[in-house]
Structure 1
Amino acid sequence: MALRLIAAAAVLAALMGAPATALTTQPWPETQPTCSALPSALRSGATLVCTDTVTPERSFEAEHRLRCDEAGLCLYTQTMPGNMTLWCRFSPEGREAYAQTIETRADGPIRGIMARECELRDSAGAIISFESARGDDEAP
């Protein structure tokens, strides 16, 4: 009887973790040398890995990764200067907002739906507020 309970608990634990791991079980596609396809990938939910320069001096090359599940919820990461990473759990609305931001090359603070669906993390994975990250950029 005890063995059946243990086996049932193991099966339930595996089933509970399945949706969370569904995004990570597939291999990533080959890295694209530019991110020109990122807005359309955001809109369609296509899996994409690409690199792009994010500073005018081209001193930093960011890596972007996007993967969506069957429900249209997407995980997006972007490496950032200062050993930080932007992590987003995008809804379809958040993906559209970010696609528009990329297309218009709108620089500035993250706000609105993106601020609710994204967070900055340091190299250890700790969450950094957008305000403190912006303040570091302005420091001498």
Structure 2
Amino acid sequence: MSEKDDDKVRLDKWLWAARFYKTRALAKAAIEGGKVHCRGERCKPSKEPKVGDELTLRTGFDERTVVVEALSVVRRGAPEAQTLYRETEDSIARREAAAEQRKAGALGVSTDGRPSKKQRRQLFTFRDSRDQ
């Protein structure tokens, strides 16, 4: 899978080739937004990952920690893209635990639905009293 061109590959291109992001622009935006860390530090899109580097990626609710196994600049099918990295056992366990909590409704605010007319009036009164 590694060719002569794959010796030097940009991080945003590798993330795109490994199918973490649909486009290179999205990968670049995630890196610049601080959602991708290489060896525990923020990095730039032009950083060149090396085999064995540990990357931390935040996408949506999930945070993954992956180890670079191979380099590629070509985006191929998902089974082939999964050979480019290995997710750590700790990362898998944390992601599954977070998914269980989200599924159980432990995160977020639970309400009884829309407020009644009386509750709405109380909200408006409270909000108006704070503004003054």
Q: TM-score over 0.5 for the alignment?
A: no
**Larger relative contact order (Cα-Cα within 8 Å, sequence gap ≥ 6):** 2
TM-score w.r.t. length of structure 1: 0.31
Q: Tell me which protein shows more helix as a share of its residues.
A: 2
- Structure ID, larger Rg: 2
